[in-house]
Structure 1
Amino acid sequence: MEETTNPEQSKRARNLGRIAIYIFAAVGLLFSLLIAVMALREKPQAARTFDANEAIDGVMTRNYGKYSETQQGWLYVDETSHVTYLVTVVQQKKVDGKEGDELYLVTSGRAVANKDEDDSFYGVFQLRYRDGQLYEYSDPRRPSGVDPVTPERVHFEALSADVWGWVVKTISNESGVGEHFTTTSNVVLAPRNEQIAVLTEFNAAFQVLGGGDCKETENRYAEWEKAKGEKKAAPAEGEVAQEASNEEAEEEYEIVPPRCTQLQWSYRTDPVSDSTFTPLYITRKAGMQGGAQVEAKTWKVMFDPKSFTYLMPQELKDVGS
């Protein structure tokens, strides 16, 4: 028996087919729109930039005062001592950050108004974008002794793939009776959160002299030691008690000349590729300490993320103590 198709059924089937086609087309269009929206949403924003010279002028004026054309620097007046300092930029570095330009700046100030004030300071600054706004993080006044920081004493270092920092050399001088100490220190600094942190400090050079150079210092010590030995020679009979008493009094107030110390250290870092901080490889060069020769030695100093400091070994801390 042959089946017959109702014309109404055929028409309904055609309508259902059209509806299915329209539904698939609509779904495809919506899917295409969704892909386009996601692509636009995931498209990275253009890196934010700023003019370095304008930014530096703003930083210096806010922190130190007016610029002096005649002295080629900014004149900062200490509110407590009223001493005037001439402040200049000794290093500037611009790098690509997560949200755009980042500017790293080191300044150096020296006393100029008062001839008796022979001191100086340095400052470190970072400008970077956060949530679309440009922020300044800084430590504008750090002591640098009587010797102002110069460009060759500042090294800009990649401490990790995400963190840049500075190694700043500072020099201090100290004099005692018959001796002079000179200490050159490496100060490692880097931005952390909303401040500038000191990661560690270690010697770059340490010197103790008693006058003249190392050879002359050792000669003076040898002469003192010889004279002391001669004094201890047996006195004539009958003078023993008096001589011993005089010796004790002299030794109580005697100034012992120093032995020569001349030490230098260098450092290096590893290439960085991730968020792990590079170790510091600190090498003491062969030199003299307390009149005795010392051999070269290298330490590998690791970074502690918890304290955000380098774990300096005691042997490097005790130099000169």
Structure 2
Amino acid sequence: MSDILEPSPPVLPTEPPPVKKKSRWGRYVLYALATLGVLAILLVVAAFYKANKGPVLVKIDETASIDESMTRNYGKYSPEKKGWVYVDENNQPFLVRVIQQARIEAVGASDELYFAVSGTGLGASQSSFYGVFQIRSDGKGGDGLVEISDPHRYDSPVPVTPERVRFEALSENTWAWVIKTQDATNPKQDRVSVNNVMLAPHGDTIAVLANFKASAESDPGDCAQANAEHESWQKQMKQYENLPENASDEDVMSAEALSDNEPRRCERVRWSYTTAPVVSAQPGPLTVSVKGSQYGVPVEGKTWKVMFDSKAFVYNVPAELIPD
């Protein structure tokens, strides 16, 4: 019988094999890639947050905004006079007050503030003016505001009062003031005419959308006699219609004096208007109608449809409605 041989144990090396050193640059690359990955994730999260957050919607403090604008445009507020005391370039003092204000709030949009002011001459002055203002977001994504305004319009002895201002929507994004201006006070002494001036913000300016008649009144007394005097005046005017170039100074002065003194006739006319319903982003037409009496007889009833020119941003007012 053969002997069973035990397996011999393996011969182990007396020294361990050399260990390969890892490259230090490899670790740096891995660290850099990891850092870039984290930054990319943060940028994506920030962009997503910003996109979902949307622009800052500005809420306007009416009192603070109006006070700041009025002080900047017209000077200091006078508690005693209850208005802002403004001195113009001719050193003429005026008392300026706010006669209309409205804050427009819309869902998902910043506030817009609209207000109108009236300046009345102090002391011996018989002049007055008005101004219109819009305050809105500056559109830069923050809470900054910008003012669009026309602070000085109109020179008349008759101040604009609150009841002479209408503020109404013309379209989905156009609000306008309709301000009645008056040139005299006593129809027994002068022809008193009132006109409608329609204004609205347009870009960075205040645009005049329309200027059309509102009323005319004159009461010289007996209408038949007034008509006869006017007819006589017309006959005299025809004598000066075609003055020769070598006309005497006396004839020229007489013609000018006659032209400046046209006799008044009886007149009591009213033009009323309505705006179209708001149905789109463009203003609709105005409907204007007339009634009353002129030169002693009733005026012929008539209605005009005044269309809006979106390119020029004005209403095409017909000649019959343009103020004299």
- TM-score, structure 2 length as denominator? 0.70
Equivalent residue number for residue 119 of structure 1: 127
Structure 2 residue 181 is the aligned partner of structure 1 residue 170:
yes
State the number of aligned residues: 253
Aligned partner letter, 1:306: K
Higher strand share: 1
Which of 210, 214, 223 is the matching residue for 1:218? 223
Structure-1 separation of matches of 2:77 and 2:126:
22
Equivalent residue number for residue 280 of structure 2: 274
Structure-2 separation of matches of 1:94 and 1:144:
28
Aligned partner letter, 1:310: Y
1:59-208 → structure 2 map (5 Å cutoff): 59-79=69-89, 81-96=90-105, 99-112=109-122, 114-115=123-124, 117-129=125-137, 130-131=139-140, 132=142, 133-173=144-184, 180-208=190-218
SS at match of 2:171: coil
Quote the offset at 1:43 in angstroms. 4.5
Q: Deviations over 1:130-152 (max 9, x none)?
A: 22321001000001411110001
Whether contact under 8 Å (2:272, 2:290) holds in the other structure is: yes
Quote the offset at 1:271 in angstroms. 1.6
Equivalent residue number for residue 19 of structure 2: none
Kindly, what percent of the aligned residue pairs are identical? 42
Equivalent residue number for residue 297 of structure 1: 302
SS at match of 2:163: helix
Radius of gyration: which is bigger? 2
Structure 2 residue 267 is the aligned partner of structure 1 residue 261:
yes
Equivalent residue number for residue 19 of structure 1: none
Quote the offset at 1:181 in angstroms. 1.1
> 1:294–1:121: structure 2 CA closer, same or farther, 3 Å change rule?
same
Structure-2 separation of matches of 1:59 and 1:280:
32
SS at match of 1:86: strand
Whether contact under 8 Å (2:284, 2:308) holds in the other structure is: yes
Whether contact under 8 Å (2:208, 2:314) holds in the other structure is: yes
Which of 285, 308, 312 is the matching residue for 1:307? 312
Q: Deviations over 1:205-238 (max 9, x none)?
A: 012332xxxxx3315437869x9xxxxxxxxxxx
SS at match of 2:190: strand
Equivalent residue number for residue 41 of structure 2: none
Unaligned ranges ≥5, structure 1: 1-33, 211-215, 228-251
Quote the offset at 1:306 in angstroms. 1.4
> 1:256–1:312: structure 2 CA closer, same or farther, 3 Å change rule?
closer
Structure-1 separation of matches of 2:153 and 2:136:
21
Unaligned ranges ≥5, structure 2: 1-43, 233-256
Structure-2 separation of matches of 1:89 and 1:39:
42
Whether contact under 8 Å (1:119, 1:144) holds in the other structure is: yes
SS at match of 2:191: strand
Structure-2 separation of matches of 1:223 and 1:142:
38
Quote the offset at 1:257 in angstroms. 4.6
Aligned partner letter, 1:308: F
Structure-1 separation of matches of 2:158 and 2:185:
12
Quote the offset at 1:296 in angstroms. 2.2
Whether contact under 8 Å (1:217, 1:258) holds in the other structure is: no
> 1:58–1:221: structure 2 CA closer, same or farther, 3 Å change rule?
same
Whether contact under 8 Å (1:144, 1:171) holds in the other structure is: no
Moved more, 199-208 or 35-44: 35-44
Whether contact under 8 Å (1:144, 1:170) holds in the other structure is: no
Quote the offset at 1:175 in angstroms. 9.3
